[in-house]
Structure 1
Amino acid sequence: MSRSRPNPISRQAEPVAQPSSTAVARLAGVSQSSVSRVFTPGAAVSESVREKVLKAAEALHYRPNALPAILQTGRSGIIAVIVGGFYNPFYTEYLWRVVSLLREQRREAMVVHTASDDHLDEIVGDLSRYRIDGVISTLSIRSRQVATQLEAFKIPVVAMNSRAIGTVRCISSGNLKAGAMAADVLHRAGCRRMAYLAGRDIPVQSDRQKGFVNRLRALGLPEPEIVGAGFNYEDGHAAATRLLSARGRKPDGIFCVNDLVAIGALDAIRGDFGLSVPDDIQVIGFDDVPMAAWKSADLTTFHQDMDALAAGSVALLSGDTPARPVVVPTRLVLRGTTRRPETGGTAAA
């Protein structure tokens, strides 16, 4: 009778014991409380002790357990970052910068993804299951109910490109001024029949449209044609197709809610209708995502100061709620989809 051999795959690996702070203290020749202070932000400890402890911790591959500190202080150092629209490079770059800044402060980001701000109420319910020290939302908070739910956490809540509701701390780019500047650029470049490719009704979209429309009125120009688009490439292509397929005189200048919509519009204008940009139609986008500078697009757009938006968002987690939203100026970047206005170059909005 043959003897069966044990199956090595079926045997569970023995758990590897993690090095303790006691082991680090013993190797470093210091007390356990000294090890604790080294890994506690802001705690007083001499440089020589810190160096010994860090060297011992590295040798033992020691990582401090965050749970005791959380239980003792009631603070986790975890910031929930709510994001949507990963199809747009603007949000991925913003997220990367925010996470990097939090790590520099020895805080961690808990990334929470949702399709749109319409689902924020569901996200807020999920957040209540975690011990978080703050919230940064890239999505606008439009509902008073959602704002009230967030306020109940008694933690700072920062929203980018949102209206001020309750104690929510807001930061945004200068969308209103940029919309007005887009009207000026197209007007100075000779455009007289304008159109605007709009996104969904959220503050960032409303302000860009309002600034554009109001400035055209002030210039004495006809009302622009507003075409509902969205926020991605396909939306821009479809909106431009509808606009250019309609009867009547075609626009000679188009301002788009963002770069992805503008790039979709460019492909429809050039590829489907055989028109020249900027000779027949001039186009302006918003965001200055990397592909806006690609040769195939060469898109005139507004650059959002990502460093200032990310740093401002993180800074708003501390201190009192500011009296009014923080506004970060944008910068006009002139490229090949517009003719050079008489006062060319770049400008802040």
Structure 2
Amino acid sequence: MRLRAPWPATPRAWTVELRSHTGGLVLVCQRCPHGGGPVTASSARAAALTHLARHARSDTLPLHLRICQCRERGCRWHGRHRGCAGPVRLLLAGEHGGRVWRLADTCTACAAATAHAAVVPDTALLAPRPSPPATSRRRRRPSEPDGRARVREMLSYLAAALPAGASAAARLIALQCALRMNASMQVRLPLGLLRGLRLGATLNPWRELEQARWLRRIPDRAADEVAAVLLDAALLGQAPARTDRRRAADWALRGSCPSRAGVLGPLPQLMSVYLAAHSQSETGHGLNEADRTAHECGIQPAELPHALEQLATAGLLDSWRIASDTEDLHWILGLRSEGEPRVR
């Protein structure tokens, strides 16, 4: 007799919908019996993601009991592929132009086949800790940061939080803002840092993020900086110590190789930091799904080979190939941005 794994009491799949309502929008959750609450257009996306994260934190389940919810529903959330495989992770997916958001346990194979989706790292679901009283506040000792891991997780989150058509320049700015914001979700980026990204004082990426209602610039600030307040409240659940995040932001700045990739434009810079974040630090070898790489860099899969060839020509990649059978992208990074060779 074949044994069947027990079905979890609470299926780990949650969906919220933003519906038009008199005077604005209303958040409707299929799991909450008391109806949805009104939200403003500027905070709708953040409210939806925060609501989903609250469900995921409360409906916990040991990893060995979690199963692919997509499979249980006949894999209707994506196109056909070879079947479920790989570890089960939480996948955030947006549908209908951001009107519907879904968070569900999904296997690695189904996650790679799902459009407009990103894997949510476990650290994103940590509830923000309440601030201690001012009288007993002590300086937090930062943990030993892994800038590569923090940048990798944030790029995956931004792939779902930002519109699919967001430019590479907007994604580079969003990455720096998300990693450098303070507890009040405000951030100030010096113009020198933006010049380091080869973006200077151009305002087009900032306008993109404002139109996406992801941030709002603060007017009348110092002439040598751009200040903004972030509107994506779900970012608060992803924040470790601010010192750790700032170090990760500095790592991302170096990983984008602006001295070489910046000459080619924002997209090679974004891909440079993305590939560096997904590579082994000792060897520079990397492996990732080609479709996922393209999605999280904001381009179409057909554009990926050309972008990779640009990086190879600039010396930022030693080699790359897309396997014809698995469609996995394999690469080896070139020399480090500081000019030091990797250990091989």
What TM-score, normalized by structure 1, do the two folds share? 0.24
Larger Rg: 1
Flag the structure with higher strand content.
2
What TM-score, normalized by structure 2, do the two folds share? 0.24
